[in-house]
Each structure stands twice: as structure tokens, then as C-alpha cells.
Amino acid sequence: MNDPRQRLQDALDALDTAFAPLSRTTFPEGGCTYCHTESDLEVLAGPTHLVPEQLVFSVACTTPDHWDDFPALYRRLTPRIVRLLIDDQLDHGMFASRLLAAGWRDWPLAERSALEEVWHAWWRSALGTYPCTGRITDILEALAATTGTLTPWLTTWAELPTEASDLHLSDALDEWLMRDELADLRLGFYGELHATPELLPWLLSLGDERIGAAQLMEVERIAYQ
């Protein structure tokens, strides 16, 4: 498939299909009634397509201890939450931390595989579009912190030496260098993934073919200090 945007749409459709058995079921949902009404809890216990988007957003942002069964609730709403994420309506680091808290790596294979296909399709779509929806560093944070590694995402970036991809790379370096993050970059809302050990060697491997001279000099200074 040559169109990354179509691949992403197909992956999102497949995500809906993988989670459809969960989305149509009902289960008793309880939670903090200070932050959510009894009516909210009743809606969350029903079919997921009936949950208002603002309530999906609230579940995505509220801490897990607000819910009696956070993993089950988050899992049921995952396709809806993922769309909010891709539309740049959620904090990417928080999303990754919440998905880890929901135990997504232990979900059934069909659900995990559908999520992973969305990640790869989203990443290629973002790298191939400049500007894209959201910042490329935020998208990388969501993917890397969720999967526990930067390697597959950096490998794809290296394999796409396009103008759009390189513009994203320049923007990412500007951000990391301006914030003085490269020496100790941690991803995820709680800093679950220490990114520097994977990121610095990868940047050095790109050299001046992909990185401007001034940026490369700073990367080298940080790497060898």
C-alpha cells in the first residue's frame, strides 16, 4: 500500500473490528462519583459507541485510581481514545503511561496486533507529511513509551530520507537541543523510557547527510562529553 494515510485509516478500521466484541458488551462500571456522575458511570458501562466524546476524553485523562476496574474500562475505550490521540487532543506521554497501566501487552493477540499496526501506520503517515497533526516528538514519545523502545521507530525514520522526514528530524533536534534534553531524555508521563541510550547513537549514525552541521556539532558534544 503506497498511501500512508489510507494505510492509517485501514488500520483504524481494523482496530474497531478487533475491539468490536468488547465495545458491544456491557459490564458494571464503578468509579469516583465526585468527578463523574452516576449517569456517566451508567453510560460507560454500556456500548462504547454511545459514550460521548467528552466522557471518553475524561477517561483518557483521569488517573486510574478513579475507576473500580481501570484496565477493563480503558481497554474497551481504546479505539476511541486512540483516535483522540491521533487527532492531537491528548497528552501523548500520558496516553502511553495510561495504556501501560491498562496492561495492553497482556491483551489478546488480535487486539495487540491491531494496535501495533496503527502505530506503524501512524508513524509512516506522520513522517511522510510535513507539517503533520501534532509534533513529531510527541508522536515518537507515544509510540516509544508504549512499546518500550525507540529502535523500530528510529529505524523507520532512517529508512525514509525524504524532505518531509528530514524536516521533522530538524524540528525534533531543535526541540531536544533547545530544552537541553538529549543528555537525559525520558519519555512517558512518568518517564518510563530512558530514550538517550538509543537516541544518541542513532543520531550520530545519521551524520551530516541528514543532520545540519550546527545541530550535529551539538549532538556530538553531548555524546562525547
Per-residue pLDDT, 34: 66
Strand partners, 31: 67
Reference 93, options 58, 35, 140; nearest CA is 140
**How far is residue 33's CA from residue 39's CA, in Å, rounded to a whole number?**
10
Count of domains observed in the chain? 1
211: left (phi over 0), alpha (psi -120 to 50) or beta: beta
Residue 20 near residue 47, CB atoms below 8 Å: no
pLDDT in tens, 158-181: 999 999 999 999 999 999 999 999
pTM: 0.94
Domain that holds residue 29: 4-224
Centroid of chain to Cα 193: 13
Per-residue pLDDT, 207: 86
Low-confidence ranges of the chain (pLDDT < 70): 1, 32-34
Per-residue pLDDT, 37: 83
Peptide bond preceding 108 in cis form (omega within 30 of 0): no
Per-residue pLDDT, 36: 76
pLDDT in tens, 208-218: 989 999 999 99
Per-residue pLDDT, 175: 96
Reference 123, options 105, 102, 137; nearest CA is 137
Per-residue pLDDT, 24: 79
Give the SS3 label for residue 193.
Answer: strand
Handedness of CA 36, 40, 44, 45 (dihedral sign): positive
Per-residue pLDDT, 212: 93
